[in-house]
């Protein structure tokens, strides 16, 4: 399968790196290059992968699958849904160093980064990001379009709602839920449930403001 990477910024390059290393390890997915409307590369390539144009140029690659590699949850969701409306296969990218447990479901278009762990029985929605070093505890649930920052640890049975963002190094205690659209600041400790569309920070994490849905 040939794949186009939508987004040539930092996250796009992380996704590209995972694809390249998977290919070197014998994987069958081949990265063709990048399309980007907003944040082109400083040069016209990254690690040999070219910048092939803007997102409307997708039509020049009718057989390619896509992976939306944009960190911002709202922008990524919009592009993911646009690719679906165009009938594009949305590829899931799992770094070859990630550990995926038994009986795990990972939705279309998701990315699991280097040295990440997804424990047994987990359910990850579509278009999810689990960045490098993240540890998703067994039987946790992540909704669609969730973004898990580097080094985040969720204990068993955590629940994270659609479109939530969890900042780097955060710890989520067992059976705790985070509502849809919420943002948890880096380095927080989430020891009790958080509602929808809130920003929370600290140890223990406390809601400091409400987001617009």
- Written as tens digits, the pLDDT of the chain (213 aa) is 899 999 999 999 999 999 999 999 888 889 999 999 876 655 567 888 999 999 999 999 999 999 999 999 999 999 999 999 999 999 999 999 999 999 999 999 999 999 999 999 999 999 999 999 999 999 999 999 999 999 999 999 999 999 999 999 999 999 999 999 999 999 999 999 999 999 999 999 999 988 777
Pairing of strands 99-100, 117-118: parallel
> What is the pLDDT, as a whole number, of residue 152?
98
> What is the pLDDT, as a whole number, of residue 28?
87
pTM of the predicted structure, to 2 decimals = 0.94
> What is the pLDDT, as a whole number, of residue 42?
54
> What is the pLDDT, as a whole number, of residue 142?
98
> What is the pLDDT, as a whole number, of residue 162?
98
List residues with catalytic annotation: 138
> What is the pLDDT, as a whole number, of residue 193?
97
Cα separations (Å) of 167 from 35, 72, 104, 180? 27, 12, 23, 15
């Amino acid at each position: 399968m040939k794949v186009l990477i939508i987004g040539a910024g930092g996250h796009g390059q992380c996704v590209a790196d995972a694809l390249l290393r998977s290919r070197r390890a014998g994987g069958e997915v081949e990265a063709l290059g990048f399309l980007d409307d907003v944040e082109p590369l400083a040069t016209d390539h990254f690690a040999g992968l070219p910048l092939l144009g803007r997102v409307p140029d997708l039509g020049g690659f009718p057989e390619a699958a896509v992976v939306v590699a944009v960190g911002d949850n709202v922008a990524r969701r919009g592009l993911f849904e646009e690719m679906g409306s165009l009938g594009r296969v949305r590829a899931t990218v799992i770094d070859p160093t990630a550990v995926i447990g038994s009986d795990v479901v990972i939705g279309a278009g998701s990315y699991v980064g280097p040295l990440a762990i997804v424990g047994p029985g987990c359910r990850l929605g579509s278009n999810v990001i689990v960045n490098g070093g993240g540890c998703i505890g067994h039987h946790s649930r992540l909704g669609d379009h969730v973004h898990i920052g580097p080094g985040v640890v969720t204990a068993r049975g955590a629940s994270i709602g659609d479109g939530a963002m969890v900042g780097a190094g955060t710890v989520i205690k067992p059976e705790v839920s985070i509502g849809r659209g919420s943002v948890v600041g880096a380095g927080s400790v989430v020891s009790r449930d958080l509602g929808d569309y809130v920003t929370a920070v600290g140890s223990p994490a406390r809601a400091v403001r409400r987001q617009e849905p």
